[in-house]
Structure 1
């Protein structure tokens, strides 16, 4: 019996069918997320012993502006490759690559222009040079070969995952050496730029595919810009969703406390990173290949895949909720003690994003960037309002819980939009939210004395 089950499982992941590709891609997505975050955790533990909390706070502020530049100018180039029928056409890929490069240089100039205002807003003169230097990594990302997106599009992630893990490990070694040598935030900045270059070289050397060249085909340009018009608007809102907590919180607390918050964030975002990685690398192309609108059987299969991913995220969040405070005390010194109760709250706040991950890919996988923009805009408006109010009254606690509350408040709009493509799974949503909140809420009750120190 056991042998037959093992053989059945092995046969399911072999071959070129959609199911086999999806299973393999899910495996490599999980390996990639846990591997990358394991390296990220190791880096964090090592660097907190070589640098001070202020360095992490400064780098977090730099990332706020870099992510802002990237999201405010995103025209959906990679998403266009993922969903377009011409996603494997060399002319289309070369046009996309050329647009990436132009955008990268433009963003670096934008970072230079923002450096002085950023230094004034946050009262950190180091940002005047730190921001333009770190932003050189954006130019490097512009030269990233499009073959990295192609393997994702076609659910072939094995080699790409290994390349990314190897590049990240090399970056860890570089960062550690530079931090030991300089004992300065500049170690983080220089390592980020070098890490981008190393990643590009490894993708070009070890991933199969044609080299990109500069080209601007009119038809491809028209398709990318046409699809990306609403993506551009959506990503402006996406910045407020993904980085709004840091942008607003950084103006309310000192840079040391902000550095401690970023340590908690490293662990607290792990459940969301896992489900988002699988969502973008597996569920998105799966929805594109097998739409729930095809048949009831296809819909059940896609829902089953999304529920599995959601259960994985909820499970990670529950484990972090019960062990988070202990984990921080085990891995870090007393300067970072408050990151423990923050991590418990992060686990609670991550439940909605873990449950609703299956619906994230429905709209874009059907090419509906307009409705995706409407949903993203609604989330951005609600979350930004919540952040200002809750951070003002509750500080860090408000910043941690606002994203989850936003997803709950905008749930009716989400359900209405994705129902158009038969992508709404209300039974799973109700059960997932109920179970996730019950378990993480119990963990919060057990750690309430430590959480009380955050108010």
Structure 2
């Protein structure tokens, strides 16, 4: 078995291995910073503050994505993306967009406060509006580095911002243990990211310019990104927005803790896929069959490690929550394991999505996210009605499955399908979860699989 793994690893290009190392290593450190930030803030701040910030971040993400034309994807995928006329045009569009989004967030603050019945939003959102302006003025350097597949320098940039964010949030929480620790921490982190973006490539400067040819190409490619972003926002944030109207801020804050830990696991593959896989595929000029042959070995090995690693985390996830957080967040330990099942399916989807996006097929991503959203709209209210928050999370997993099925169908149509491989990897993941959990149960460190996944017991749904 090990000889076959070593043989498969030997087929992966050395530069790809180095990039994967930087992407995964830096991601690990970033997640350590974020987890430490999360744990410390959870002890300094009360759960309702996290619930309120979850609403703020959902609004901020929504405002941002509802005008997304894929500036980063344009620079990475376009053959002229590294030409000054192209990336300066992209940067100019991004600046205009950032200022416009900041104004929208400022002007709509009262409307959001009335909709969510949270008067605090009327004061918080005008301050959060500054993050859009800072984001708009960020240099295109990160996108250019991604196009050049310079993962190391991009990783150093991300690590620096994550470390600054940790220091700022903790310092602010010690000074003022209120919602303003989270709000001002986000704004100041955005300002730090703006400054860092101009330091990562020394001497890189931008000029305000709108090149007609470049702008036309950006908008042509970006129309599908725009539509996809609207659907993506609704799909990713539907649970947050729905639950914000159904449960208390305290419970929403507990839910946000579980959601943030689940997202950490998903973000590893997202990072690797979009920093390594997407630009690599975009740079290739081969047939679909040749592309699949080039990807299959590295893809299989990477996802084998992810499957086993994620399975082990799923098996101990409720224990991890108990160790890291106080009793106020105990319910997060019941939510997290169920969320992580959906994370595995999401990981498979992200990998397939990156390949399709690299081949210039953003429309497929849009349709896959639309199927996921439709599942949420129909199923989440039903799941919440019959099973509460845990029932809603089960439906979220079903939405991820629907997204994967649609992407698989389009990938197969393009001769880029990995259905058999993914089925085997999923079996490996599920078996690993059960084996690891039963091993923990056998030595008395945890309960059995039913304690980890109570929805597997039919009587749970009819309580």
In the superposition, the TM-score normalised over structure 1's length comes to: 0.91
User: What's the counterpart of residue 237 of structure 1?
Assistant: 231
**2:335 counterpart of 1:342:** yes
Which whole-Å CA distance do the structure 2 matches of 1:209 and 1:147 have between them? 11
User: 2:101 maps to what in 1?
Assistant: 107
Distance across 1 between alignment mates of 2:255 and 2:63:
22
Q: Over residues 408-429 of structure 1, what are the superposed CA-to-partner deviations in whole Å (9 max), with x where a residue is unaligned? A: 2344432221123321012111
Q: Which residue of 1 aligns with 2:273?
A: 279
1:79 aligns with 2:73: yes
After TM superposition, give the deviation of residue 167 of structure 1 in Å. Answer: 1.9
Is 2:126 the partner of 1:124?
no
Residue number in structure 2 paired with 1:157: 151
Q: Residues 62-211 of structure 1: matches in 2 within 5 Å?
A: 62-208=56-202, 210-211=204-205
Aligned length: 443
2:29 pairs, out of 19, 28, 35, with: 35
Answer whether contact 2:141 2:200 (CA < 8 A) is retained. Answer: no
Aligned 8 A contact 1:356 1:429 in 2: no
Aligned position for 1:319: 312
Deviation of 1:402 (Å): 2.7
| 1:437 counterpart = 2:430 | yes
Q: Give 1:209 shift.
A: 5.9
Aligned match of 2:260: 266
C-alpha displacement of 1:177: 1.2
| Contact 1:351 1:404 (C-alpha < 8 Å) held by counterparts | no
Q: Does 404-413 or 180-189 show the bigger shift?
A: 404-413
Question: Distance between the aligned counterparts of 1:369 and 1:335, measured in 2?
Answer: 42
1:236–1:176 Cα change, 3 Å:
same
In structure 2, the CA distance between the partners of 1:449 and 1:429, relative to structure 1 (3 Å rule), is closer
2:375–2:398: 8 Å Cα contact kept in structure 1? no
- Higher alpha-carbon deviation: 95-104 or 336-345: 336-345
Q: 2:384 corresponds to which residue?
A: 391
Instruction: Decide whether the 8 Å contact of 2:47 with 2:254 is kept in 1.
Output: yes
| TM-score, normalization by structure 2 | 0.89
Q: 1:343 to 1:125 in 2, by over 3 A?
A: same
Could you say if the C-alpha distance between residues 305 and 383 of structure 1 is closer, same or farther in structure 2, counting changes exceeding 3 Å? farther
Question: Does the Cα contact within 8 Å between 1:30 and 1:274 map onto a contact in 2?
Answer: yes
- Find the residue that maps to 1:125 and give its secondary structure: coil
Post-superposition offset of 1:172: 1.1
In structure 2, the gaps of 5 or more residues are 439-446
Pick closer, same or farther for the CA change 1:366–1:67 going to 2, 3 Å.
Answer: same
- Alignment of 1:353 with 2:346, yes or no, is yes
After superposition, the Cα gap between the structure-2 partners of 1:253 and 1:94, relative to the gap in structure 1 and judged at 3 Å, is same
Separation in 2, partners of 1:292, 1:275: 24
Report the Cα offset of residue 438 of structure 1: 3.5
Structure 1: how far apart are the matches of 2:449 and 2:87? 51
Q: Cα deviation per residue 1:285-314 (whole Å; 9 max; x = unaligned)?
A: 122123672554x42221222223323332
Deviations 1:331-383 (A, max 9, x none): 11111111112111122222211233321112221222233322222222223
Task: State the superposition RMSD in angstroms.
Answer: 2.5
Residues 434 and 449 in structure 2, CA contact (< 8 A), matched pair in contact too: no
User: Is the 1:22–1:155 Cα contact (8 Å) retained in structure 2?
Assistant: no
1:253 partnered with 2:247: yes
Shift, 1:329, TM fit = 1.1
Tell me the residue number matched to 1:16. none
Partner of residue 395 from structure 2, selected from 399, 402, 405: 402
Q: How far apart are the structure 1 equivalents of 2:414 and 2:145?
A: 26
Aligned residue in 1 for 2:49: 55
In structure 2, the partner of 1:446 is: 448
Going from structure 1 to structure 2, the CA distance change for 1:216 and 1:439 (only over 3 Å counts) comes to same
TM-superposed deviation, 1:435: 2.4
Structure 1 position 450, deviation (Å): 6.5
Alignment correspondent of 2:444: none
Q: Is 2:381 the partner of 1:379? A: no
Partner of 1:362: 355
CA-CA distance at 1:280 after TM superposition: 0.8
